[in-house]
Amino acid sequence: MCTTYSGRFYAMQRFNLSSLVFVETKGSGFDEGALNAITAARKLSGPVTAVVAGSEADVTAKAVAKIDGVSKVIIAKDAVYDHALPETNASLLKALQEKESATHIFAPHSAAGKNIMPRLAALLDSQQISDIIAVEGDDTFVRPVYAGNAIATVKTSDPIKVVTVRTTSFPAAVASDTASASEEAAPAIEATPLSKWLKEDVTKSDRPDLASAKRVVSGGRAVKSAEGFKIIYQLADKIGAGVGASRAAVDAGYCDNSLQVGQTGRIVAPELYIAIGISGAIQHLAGMKESKVIVAINKDADAPIFQIADYGLVGDLFTTIPELIEKI
């Protein structure tokens, strides 16, 4: 068991538990990872308050208020919070923590969460607890370490807990017709952005989003080229799957880096994960080994991927995949 301590000592004080959950806005919608973070927050006994910030936060808040388990939605309608810039959003969360006397602040372990929460933790002089997979108490959490090869139970003495949540480890909270959280405007704060949003280049696709897809087909270095990677897309389209890739395939330029699955990419846990031409490096396994069923296709019978696969097929992917597509 690991115990963390903040850089400053506090007098013993009893807090009533209450949680803030950061909801990343995307236009008038929001990142669905917040639904999993809300479920994690609900493991505690106190009320859950969702924080919605951005130029269209008032619209987004209407949907968030219908989520079961959310007692209040705080709305910060201001373009300064758009695109989840860390400086402004961390300052907002700090101000709201003080206003609400929140004991816990949760966010998904997403790009936005990993950007904002460390800054917030520094502002609050608390040590962040990252990528949790379970909540065992108001001060005790479980998280993977060493690329998932060990599980640590972490107990913190900080009065304010700053936590990011592995979304695949908690079910998504659901909307309810009977749920209707109260809505409240956030107080005005000084939020001077130190960085400027320029642009975002996003690959558009009609395929299921990698993070939420029930089936995922991933390709590795063995596809040999961007042209060879098309066979991955073909199989994915045939079974209605999202598309992933190993870091080796991404680094080689075979596909967009938004498809990377692994320790430094996306963490997925679909019902079916098909790994094609992927050897099974530990960094890749960290991002997909929680999948319900894993199928490995590789011409190397000794590839590490076969050690965690539920089903394995040894063969050349350029022969086996066309046959598989034809028979589906």
Question: Minimal CA–CA distance to 244: which of 284, 206, 281?
Answer: 284
Q: Per the annotation, does 97 bind a ligand? A: no
Q: Per the annotation, does 246 bind a ligand? A: yes
Cβ burial of 1 (10 Å; 0-12, 13-18, 19+) is exposed
Element (H, E) at 159: none
Q: Per the annotation, does 253 bind a ligand? A: no
Gap between the Cα atoms of 161 and 290, Å rounded = 26
Q: Per the annotation, does 264 bind a ligand? A: yes
Q: Per the annotation, does 287 bind a ligand? A: no
Q: Per the annotation, does 242 bind a ligand? A: no
For 267, how many CA atoms within 13 A lie in the half-sphere containing its CB? 20
Gap between the Cα atoms of 164 and 107, Å rounded = 5
Q: Per the annotation, does 49 bind a ligand? A: no
Q: Per the annotation, does 263 bind a ligand? A: yes
Q: Per the annotation, does 248 bind a ligand? A: no
Q: Per the annotation, does 128 bind a ligand? A: no
Indicate the SS3 state at residue 234: helix
Q: Per the annotation, does 240 bind a ligand? A: no
Question: Residues 164, 128: contact at Cβ < 8 Å?
Answer: yes
Spatial neighbors of 247 by CB under 8 A, at least 6 apart, are 260, 262, 264, 265, 281, 283, 284
Q: Per the annotation, does 282 bind a ligand? A: yes
Q: Per the annotation, does 307 bind a ligand? A: no
Q: Per the annotation, does 279 bind a ligand? A: yes
Angle between helices 317-327 and 230-239 (to 10 degrees): 20
Q: Per the annotation, does 261 bind a ligand? A: yes
Question: Minimal CA–CA distance to 226: which of 245, 201, 202?
Answer: 245
Q: Per the annotation, does 137 bind a ligand? A: no
Q: Per the annotation, does 276 bind a ligand? A: no
Q: Binding site residues, as ranges?
A: 221, 246-247, 260-264, 277-284, 298
Q: Binding site residues for FAD, as ranges?
A: 221, 246-247, 260-264, 277-284, 298
